[in-house]
Amino acid sequence: MSVELDAESAAFTFKGGMLPMTVLELATSDIAHIEAQLTGKISQAPAFFQHTPVVLGVERCQGEPLALDQLCAMLRQHKLLPVAVRGGNDDVKQSAWALGLGWFPPNEARTPAMAEPVEQVIPVSRREEAAPSREAQGARVFRGTVRSGQQLSSPEGDLIVVGAVNAGAEVLAAGSIHIYGALRGRALAGIHGNLDAAVFCQELEAELLAVAGNYKRLEDIPRELIGRSVQVHMVDDQLEISAFEE
């Protein structure tokens, strides 16, 4: 006997989705080495990594023993939340399931119908670095599009991007960030604690905005500000986003 439920009485529904998610793309299974580099990365923008779900990409660790339980424990100590593993042999797959994690086949095993459900944004050993066009008076100037998977930083001053920042890209600066285009990725200003830093962009669609460790995700941004030219700065110890007058 089948039972049909109307939409109002159904307790849940299954829906497909393409959620943005961070991939920790491992180049080694040496947990001490991973933790040393991860600690440095987190120190640049600690708020961004707090309670961030991550998928562990282990394709490049083939043939190396991987203590997945120890790796997950270390990540949780640093406030990261491992939710799944991508790649690895059958032992890795079984370990992932035993730890209550999901498992995805490696990229090369996917067909077009099995689209990658996450955006790769944090390789742990190195990351593709967008090349600057020039540097001026402590500020870093980049002309062009910062693509998904790239990180662009100005560790000593402002960062000026004459172009767009795509989803899955990340821009960081010790000072303020100026985006003369659409901001769809992550922008973290004042990464060393400068509360006077700010983020300015011509079109706001950011995944995450942060100033001196204070942050807002896309879902926290008022809908009326999406697509607008805005400034993001600290006011009375609160991160404020306001539109420029048009």
Q: Can you give the length of the chain in residues?
A: 246
Query: Quick check: pTM over 0.85?
Result: no
Q: What is the pLDDT of residue 246?
A: 55
What digits encode the pLDDT tens for the residues 180-228? 999 999 999 998 888 999 999 999 999 989 898 888 888 888 999 999 9
Model confidence band, residue 163 (pLDDT cutoffs 50, 70, 90): very high
Q: Could you tell me which residue, 174 or 118, shows the higher pLDDT?
A: 174
Q: ∠ at Cα 170 (165, 175), nearest 5°? A: 95
Which value, in Å, is the radius of gyration of the alpha carbons in the chain? 20
What angle do helix axes 90-98 and 68-77 make, rounded to 10 degrees?
50
Mean pLDDT of the 63-87 span: 90
DSSP-assigned letters across all residues of 54-121: EEEE-GGGTTS---HHHHHHHHHHTTEEEEEEES--HHHHHHHHHTT-EEE--GGG--TTS---SEEE
Helices (H) and strands (E) in the chain, counts: 4, 17
Q: Could you tell me which residue, 192 or 32, shows the higher pLDDT?
A: 32
Q: Which CATH number fits domain 134-243: 3.40.50.970, 1.10.246.90, 1.10.3720.10, 2.160.20.70?
A: 2.160.20.70
Q: Which residues, including other chains, have CB under 8 Å from residue 36's CB and lie 6 or more apart?
A: none
Alpha helix ranges (H) inside the chain: 31-44, 46-49, 68-77, 90-98
Indicate the residue type of 159: L
Distance CA 71, CA 143 (A): 38
Residue carrying structure tokens 């040496």: 30
Sign of CA dihedral 37, 122, 65, 91: positive
| Residue spans in the chain of domains classed CATH 3.30.70.260 | 22-123
CA torsion 159-165-169-173 (nearest 10°) is: 10
With left for phi above 0 and alpha for psi between -120 and 50, is residue 168 left, alpha or beta? left
CB 154 within 8 A of CB 175: yes
What digits encode the pLDDT tens for the residues 222-245? 999 999 999 999 998 889 999 986
CB 206 within 8 A of CB 186: yes
CATH of domain 22-123: 3.30.70.260
Residue 120 has pLDDT above 70, yes or no: no
Residue 40 has pLDDT above 80, yes or no: yes
Residue 158, CA atoms < 13 Å, CB-side half-sphere: 15
In this structure, what token pair is assigned to residue 183? 């901001």
Q: What is the pLDDT of residue 114?
A: 34
